[in-house]
Amino acid sequence: MTEATSPIPTRAASAGRLGWLEGKLSWIMLGLAGLLLPLLDDSYMGTIATRAYIYWVLSAGLNLVVGYAGQIAIGWVSMLTLGAYTTAALAAGRVGAEWNPYLALIAGGAMGAVFGVIVGLPALRLRTFYFAMTTLGFATIVTQVALAWKDVTGGGVGTPGPVFPWPFDPGWGFYYLCFILAALATWMTANIGSSRYGRALVAIRDAEVAAEACGISKPALLMMVFLLAGAMGGIAGGLFASLQSYITPDAFTFEMSVLFFIGILIGGRGSILGPALGTLILTVLPEFAAPLVQWSTFLYAALLLLIVLVIPGGIADLLDYKNRRPIEQHREIVPRPDLLARVLGRQDGRTLIALKAIALHFGGVKAIDGLDLEIRGGEVHGLIGPNGSGKTTTLNVVSGYYKPHAGALTIDGANLAFEQPHLRALHRIARTFQTPRVVGAASVLENVMIGGTVHGHGTFTESMLSLPRHRLDEKALEEAAMLALSTVGLESLAAVRADRLQHSELRFVEIARALMLRPACLMLDEPAAGLSAEEIRRLGGLIKAISRVGTAVLLVEHHADLIFDICDRVTVLNLGKVLAAGTPEEIRSHREVVSAYLGA
């Protein structure tokens, strides 16, 4: 067995196995507490715990929207309202014949799912507080409809909540129903959070441009998440209606919306356990501090401010003690180009990306002016020129971020549509960025696994239920990511959070993520920026080795020595036009290039 084909040791995997039990311990303790609580025979405590479980059913889904996808959905109490009134009205026979309460609960979840998608649609265009105002507006509309539609909702008088029959009848039976559904919601959202879909959501939140470059479709993914979060909110509403016994529009307050939202924020983004504890704390706290209930909004705001100032990462950061351990100093990056054949597979080297007469202007500025460029498999093509000459703009056109005003882009003779960056991954076009676009809160291994998102075969539902195809996907992605990290020399840092790495290491993390796509074309945007001379030398060897496997490499770089050392062809841009093109030797001696860019 040769070094190139030997298995790669996975320190992250062994650390992950150790962390698996550590991570499950908190859930085991919470589960045992929930199962054994009825032994206390305290109905008051049982009611408080039941309320906390109901709130968590809603918050578990909302956590995917807020904590993972980064959408500010403050008015999610509307899903609770819809689910409560749907379940109560159907079970009471206010819409046709009386429904079985369990079927009515399912209908409440379906209603939440439908309106979860409807409310989520603006998120595809609106961001931050604009989307927050949309959700709050929808919550107000739902409340007003509940007040006006007296035949179904009872208006301001209200309507009785459903009573679930055996085995989940009122009392401890209903408590166990809420406990089981809260556990199920936790399990499903935890499965999503640790899947390629969860990593894609976090990538959309923290590095949206990089997520698109990896083939992640934001609209499709967000719609699935809003559907699931809406369904969970609707089911929580049906349970809430039963717990309340009688529901009126006054039960669904703005303070309740704030509770759900702040519970997730103080729990920590990208975590399941943290928001669960945050929701539990905010549910239980008012019960033991009744005189402070009238100050609840102020206290929630003060608590949020305290978390932001003292523990920005929330409860999840307090629990993540592994990432507070010191990591080795004076680290070296030693790539292993001999592993590239395993990472990239067989490349025929015949890929040809052609730009013909590309023209793009921003107002009166001609960023690209009639550019012709060919990127060939098996070659490193350097793209150089002064700042503002159109180099990164050219990469953005090939990546699908910009639509030129004229010209055509083809790969192996087939036209590539513009303004569809997430579809570039299907053509195996990968790239890195001038400033590393990584998810700082995720581990190095998870960042690299994001690059292989399009290679997964399991559906969203399969990941949610942890079915066999999902588990096979995760195993394959982890093995491929460890191999890519070993290739760039960072396998020892696989389990470390990306925001703890040095700048030079982040450059190589991006390359490893791009390699996960098994690219036919790899575009590198100033990968040597901020690297030491030795790191640049090693980077050059890695880039050249990537091209020799058959991949087409387009390299934008200001380090002229690196360009002339490893490139097979070089194109020089100036003011959006081709100033010169040829071999490195021809470019080095080109008089206009020396005058305009290289200097004397």
Distance CA 364, CA 367 (A): 9
Q: Which residue has the higher pLDDT, 12 or 303?
A: 303
Q: Which fold has domain 348-428+519-600?
A: Rossmann fold (3.40.50)
Q: Pull the structure tokens for residue 552.
A: 């087409």
Average pLDDT rounded to a whole number, residues 32-54? 90
The Cβ-side half-sphere exposure at 411, using a 13 Å CA radius, reads 19
Q: Pull the structure tokens for residue 418.
A: 């513009």
Query: What tens digit of pLDDT does each residue of 277-330 get?
Result: 999 888 887 776 666 666 666 777 777 788 778 877 888 888 776 677 788 888
Distance CA 512, CA 535 (A): 15
Write down the domain spans for the chain.
23-250, 348-428+519-600, 438-517
Q: Which residues pair with 552 in a beta bridge?
A: 521
- Residue type (1 letter), 122: P
User: What pLDDT, on a 0 to 100 scale, did the predictor assign at position 7?
Assistant: 45
pLDDT band at 598 (very low <50, low <70, confident <90, very high): low
The three-state DSSP-derived secondary structure of 476-499 is HHHHHHHHHHHHHCCHHHCCCEHH
Spatial contact of 419 and 514, defined as CB atoms under 8 Å apart = no
The distance of Cα 291 from the centroid of its chain, to the nearest Å, equals: 40
- Residue type (1 letter), 224: M
What DSSP character marks residue 594? I
In terms of phi and psi (left: phi > 0; alpha: psi -120 to 50; beta: otherwise), the region of 254 is alpha
Mean pLDDT is lowest, of 20-24, 52-56, 152-156, for 20-24
Distance CA 482, CA 515 (A): 11
User: What pLDDT, on a 0 to 100 scale, did the predictor assign at position 307?
Assistant: 77
Does the pLDDT of residue 571 top 80, yes or no?
Answer: yes
pLDDT band at 505 (very low <50, low <70, confident <90, very high): very high
Query: What tens digit of pLDDT does each residue of 147-196 get?
Result: 999 999 999 888 999 999 999 989 899 999 999 999 999 999 999 999 99
Does the pLDDT of residue 569 top 50, yes or no?
Answer: yes
User: What pLDDT, on a 0 to 100 scale, did the predictor assign at position 3?
Assistant: 40
Spatial contact of 277 and 267, defined as CB atoms under 8 Å apart = yes
Mean pLDDT is lowest, of 118-127, 350-359, 444-453, for 118-127
Q: How far is CA 158 from CA 93, 495, 581, in A?
A: 14, 53, 77
Q: Closest by alpha carbon to 484, among 599, 366, 343?
A: 343
Helix residue ranges, H only, 268-380:
273-288, 296-310, 314-319, 340-344
User: What pLDDT, on a 0 to 100 scale, did the predictor assign at position 528?
Assistant: 95
Overall pTM surpassing 0.85 (yes/no)? yes
Spatial contact of 552 and 543, defined as CB atoms under 8 Å apart = no
Q: Closest by alpha carbon to 486, among 460, 528, 521, 515?
A: 515
Does the pLDDT of residue 128 top 90, yes or no?
Answer: no
Mean pLDDT is lowest, of 106-120, 179-193, 324-338, for 324-338
Spatial contact of 488 and 545, defined as CB atoms under 8 Å apart = no
Question: Would you say the C-alpha torsion 169, 172, 177, 178 has a positive or negative sign?
Answer: positive
The distance of Cα 438 from the centroid of its chain, to the nearest Å, equals: 11
Q: Which residues pair with 569 in a beta bridge?
A: 381
User: What pLDDT, on a 0 to 100 scale, did the predictor assign at position 124?
Assistant: 82
Query: What tens digit of pLDDT does each residue of 57-67 get?
Result: 999 999 999 99
Does the pLDDT of residue 433 top 90, yes or no?
Answer: yes
Q: Pull the structure tokens for residue 281.
A: 């704390």
pLDDT band at 379 (very low <50, low <70, confident <90, very high): very high
User: What pLDDT, on a 0 to 100 scale, did the predictor assign at position 292?
Assistant: 62
Does the pLDDT of residue 565 top 90, yes or no?
Answer: yes
Query: What tens digit of pLDDT does each residue of 408-424 get?
Result: 999 998 899 887 899 99
User: What pLDDT, on a 0 to 100 scale, did the predictor assign at position 23?
Assistant: 59
User: What pLDDT, on a 0 to 100 scale, did the predictor assign at position 286?
Assistant: 75
Average pLDDT rounded to a whole number, residues 116-129? 85
Backbone angles phi, psi at 346, to 5 degrees: -85, 120
Spatial contact of 466 and 229, defined as CB atoms under 8 Å apart = no
Does the pLDDT of residue 5 top 50, yes or no?
Answer: no
